[in-house]
Amino acid sequence: MRIIILLVSVLLSGTLFYKKIYLPHDLHEVSGVCSLPDGRLLWLNDGGNKPYLYITDLQGKLDSVIKLPLRNRDWEEMTSDDDGNLYIGDFGNNANDRRDLIIYKLDPTYRVIDSILFNYEDQTLFPPPIVERRFDMEAMIWSDHRLHLFSKNKMGSYFISTHYMLSETGRRQTAVKVEELKLAPYIVSGAARKPGTNEIIMLTYTYHFRLQFLPDSQTRLYRFQLDSATQRLLPQQSPYKVLPTWLASSQYEAIAWSGPEHLVIAAEGGKKRRPFFRIESK
């Protein structure tokens, strides 16, 4: 009886019936998205996939594929600056043992114009003990000639996301630790800065099972304001929005603004489901 009540409540809440806009199968492991000036969307897959960028319209129809002369060891995030330059973060680091972390910079024509090789100022062991493993990165935003990185921590560090900062230029850099964000039990999987502002939306999710067999995931969007003086994030509301996905568990990995009032949020595909995105109104 309890299960029936839960099912009815989910149906009434509409959480199973939000509009899914399906992506091409090639984006099965979608991990990053940016909105283009003409309104189309630019996508990438994470590690183990080809170093390609994909352009779709807002209905998910594939327009073109851009093949880059790069390596995709573990691409996890993509962001852009006010001049239309693109930054691709090859910094996925599940094992916390990478010494080749890199961010590629592309101009608006997708020509590679720079690369930033970096390390974290507080990492000395590769890998460190489990309780100190906080160097897996999945989120990045650009603001005022700086790149801000936010870690995805689910091991040892008790779901604390570490905020690091880099310059947008400089061949070799050390990422400076800015602060720690406590979002437990949610882990960070993406971030987006609203163009022309210092408003940051953080994409997070959690995943577990109800009754030991029913998948139960939830995605939360947190709103922050980036303080120009300290470069720290100031919480605005916690959470900004909750996206329940119970009985339709999806792992949301990519987020971007589409105009001033909408957010594009994308989920990876699964064994029996296609990757998709949804558009959320602010």
Number of folded domains that form the chain: 1
Domain residues for the domain of 136 are 2-281
- pLDDT tens string, the chain, 282 residues long: the values are 555 444 444 444 344 456 899 999 999 999 999 999 999 999 999 999 999 999 999 999 999 999 999 999 999 999 999 999 999 999 999 999 999 999 999 999 999 999 999 999 999 999 999 888 889 999 999 999 999 999 997 755 567 899 999 999 999 999 999 999 998 888 999 999 999 999 999 999 886 656 555 556 789 999 999 999 999 999 998 788 888 665 556 889 999 999 999 999 999 998 788 999 999 987
Q: Output the CA–CA distances (angstroms, integers) from residue 245 to 11, 185, 267, in the order listed.
A: 11, 16, 11
CATH number at residue 162: 2.115.10
Taking the C-alpha atoms of residue 132 and residue 135, their distance in angstroms, rounded to an integer, is 9
pTM exceeds 0.85, yes or no = yes
Residues 6+ away with beta carbon under 8 Å from 145: 81, 167, 168, 169
